[in-house]
Amino acid sequence: MRPADRPVKTPIQDLKVGMFVQMPGGWTQHSFFRSKFLIKNDEQISKIARSGFSEVIVNPLRSHIKPERHKKPNYIPKPPKEHKPKFDLGPPLMPTGFSEFLSDTSIAPKRKAGHLYNVCLHVMEKVLSDPNMGNITQFKQGVSGIVDLLLADKETATQLFHLTSRDHYTFTHSINVGVMSIMLTKALYGESTPHDMQELSAAYFLHDIGKSKISDELLYSPETYTERERKVMEAHAVDGSELLTEANLQSVESKIILSQHHEREDGSGYPQGLQGDQIHIYSRICATADVFDALTSRRLFKPSLLLYDALLLMKYDKGLHLNKEVFSAFVQLFK
């Protein structure tokens, strides 16, 4: 290999669109779907910078533009500092050995899916009870491994998908909608998704994080909401988005999903009353999973619908106003 073709460590400030990079460390240390990828836009460079690394490796052979090579300095450079987050993440959120568990192929898919579901519930409960920067950051890192598993291990993903029908509590709802939305995105876009699946999936799981600002009394009230209470409930779409902004953890994907997941095709949704193509595909996916889970989950004050009845109701669009193409792909997930 010619010296000019060898991979080269490149400072973040020298990165350019068209360079093929390799992120340092494992999947827990960055939020990209893959550790090696071609930089396609400036947003990706900003995201690499936000990961806290000072430099990444650029592979000239796979890049569209060549990285600059700096002459070796005539002094001995200090050893690179170990990567540490810029703030204290607080107590660990994910259980010890979680990444080893995810990659353990000796565990039967059904058992793996059951344990994974319980871990997700436990973690989601912690995040929604205390949505601080440390918890959300750790959640996003933990989701990264779950997403890899869901995309790569079809059997475990299918088992997990069939677990997503239980009694309705905010935690189970968030997990159910997260899992179903990831599967639906995969069904619509396959393996060649151009989307940042890590950010996207974290946002699917956290779509209702704004509800953490609502009292349990109102959240689980069996009474019909007053006009004022309805406005408080509906504010969770905007509150969730703001909450992530305050924690400095908002991504393009989360902004879209959190703020649009209650928009409806005919403009009857909230908060903006967007119509048709004004609603992003991420939000249409999340809305479909959200409505299905709401229909099939049992609440204190409402019985659940059977799967078939719920799909029928969604098909004939009884005031639900979901996107038809997304719904068709959703139905295929049950076959």
Region binding Fe ion by CB under 5 A among candidate stretches 34-42, 47-55, 181-189, 205-213: 205-213
Q: Compute the least distance from the CB of residue 214 to Fe ion, in Å.
A: 11
Judge contact between 286 and 177, C-beta under 8 A.
yes
Q: Compute the least distance from the CB of residue 283 to Fe ion, in Å.
A: 11
Q: Between residues 208 and 253, which has the closer beta carbon with respect to Fe ion?
A: 208
Judge contact between 46 and 31, C-beta under 8 A.
no
Candidate list 40, 211, 213, 255, residue with the active-site label: 211
Distance CA 42, CA 187 (A): 28
Assigned token pair, 95 = 């259980």
Assigned token pair, 299 = 């609440």
One DSSP character per residue, 205-261 reads: HTTTGGGGGS-HHHHT--SPPPHHHHHHHHTHHHHHHHHHHHTT---HHHHHHHHHT
Contact call for residue 208 and Fe ion (CB under 5 A)? yes
Q: Between residues 22 and 221, which has the closer beta carbon with respect to Fe ion?
A: 221
Region binding Fe ion by CB under 5 A among candidate stretches 100-108, 200-208, 245-253, 312-320: 200-208
Does residue 56 sit in helix, strand or coil? strand
211 labelled catalytic:
yes
Q: Compute the least distance from the CB of residue 294 to Fe ion, in Å.
A: 9
Q: Between residues 196 and 208, which has the closer beta carbon with respect to Fe ion?
A: 208
Cis peptide preceding 79, ω within 30 of 0: no
Q: Compute the least distance from the CB of residue 287 to Fe ion, in Å.
A: 9
Q: Compute the least distance from the CB of residue 321 to Fe ion, in Å.
A: 15
Write b or e for each residue in 229-260: b if 16 or more Cβ atoms lie within 10 A of its Cβ, otherwise e: eeebbbbbbebbbebbeebebbbebbbbbbbb
Residue in the shown chain whose Cβ atom is closest to Fe ion: 208
Q: Between residues 20 and 171, which has the closer beta carbon with respect to Fe ion?
A: 171
Q: Between residues 199 and 208, which has the closer beta carbon with respect to Fe ion?
A: 208
Q: In 3-state terms, the chain is what percent helix, strand and coil (to 5)? A: 55, 5, 40
Judge contact between 56 and 22, C-beta under 8 A.
yes
Region binding Fe ion by CB under 5 A among candidate stretches 13-21, 121-129, 134-142, 206-214: 206-214
Distance CA 299, CA 166 (A): 10
Contact call for residue 265 and Fe ion (CB under 5 A)? no
Residues that bind Fe ion (rule: CB under 5 A) add up to a total of 1
Region binding Fe ion by CB under 5 A among candidate stretches 48-56, 106-114, 207-215, 267-275: 207-215
Binding region for Fe ion (CB under 5 A): 208
Q: Catalytic positions, please? A: 211
